[in-house]
Copies of this chain bind each other. A is one copy, B any other.
């Protein structure tokens, strides 16, 4: 049995394409994943930006199977597997391990608010015990602006103490650098991903592993560029460039903006679709976004050829 390697570098919460019937489109998703891998970008499929919580467990299992069958390397996949209900999290996580995924990104159960660390500890512990597979590697997913259920430092400490070989890392999407810094300082050896490339340079300087970021869907090579050269003299300039592009995207709702960008640069209109409760950009927003990208001479190298394949 091979030991899963720790993730590092850049991962994208891959946006999920839907057909006209709002079903996920596995073939389009596989093409996108291959392109991202070609850009040195790992695959945090089923993340927040993947509309993963708008997919049911069966859909995620089918997509995961389709990706592996399409030749997408599971060693580069960190699927999101955390759901509200324990059996759902167990089922999807066990399937991801079985398919060889080198890790899973795990939300806490997120319906009930104001829950205790004891309750969240039990939730993660039950998943680990029930999956019962030594290959399981969990990256905790701290995203309080959306999940509204935080993963505290004390909870992380307790999970690492109880499951040191399983609970190996975290994605910090708090947007609060002081929280990421506290994790880096308090848990040496823990694999800490920033939740956005805005914090990539600081995270690397602090001993972090990289970032898992929405905009890696459209700008993976440049983000990886900073990851590769964070110790070089031009690192600050690279960070500033990334921040500027992210600034363009952040003027719009992020997920529809990512999909509009992929749709435009791939010439594939199907990418516009979102599942309710999310909605596509208005035509005005889309034009404004594309104009701003064009003004920056933005490109997605290699994408149109692959999408047209």
Contacts and interface: CB of A to CB of B under 8 A. Distances in A.
A209 to B, nearest CB: 26
Interface string A146-165: 11110000000000000000
A42 interface: no
A250 interface: no
Contact of A119 (B58, B59, B87, B278): B278
A56 interface: yes
Interface stretch (A109-117, A222-230, A237-245): A109-117
A54 B86 contact: yes
Contacts of A115: 277-278
Contacts of A87: 55-56, 58-59
A155 to B, nearest CB: 11
Contacts of A264: none
A25 interface: no
Interface stretch (A29-37, A120-128, A175-183, A200-208): A120-128
A112 B278 contact: yes
Determine how many copies of this chain the complex contains: 2
Contacts of A48: 111
Interface in A91-113: 91, 108-113
Interface in A50-78: 53-59
A28 interface: no
Given A53-B112, A54-B111, A112-B53, A276 B86 contact: yes
Contacts of A53: 84-85, 109, 111-112
Nearest to A255: B112
Contact of A276 (B22, B59, B119): B119
B56 A277 contact: no
A279 interface: yes
A108 B56 contact: no
Contacts of A85: 53-56, 59
A86 B145 contact: no
Interface centre among A59, A112, A118, A123 (most CB of B within 10 A): A112
A286 interface: no
Contacts of A84: 53-54, 84
Contacts of A119: 276-279
A6 interface: no
A126 B55 contact: no
A90 to B, nearest CB: 9
Across the A-B interface, the 8 shortest Cβ-Cβ residue pairs: A53-B111, A119-B277, A123-B276, A122-B276, A115-B277, A56-B87, A56-B85, A53-B84
Given A54-B86, A115-B277, A148-B148, 16 more contacts: A22-B86, A53-B112, A54-B84, A54-B109, A54-B111, A55-B85, A56-B87, A59-B87, A86-B275, A110-B111, A111-B146, A112-B146, A112-B277, A120-B276, A122-B276, A123-B277
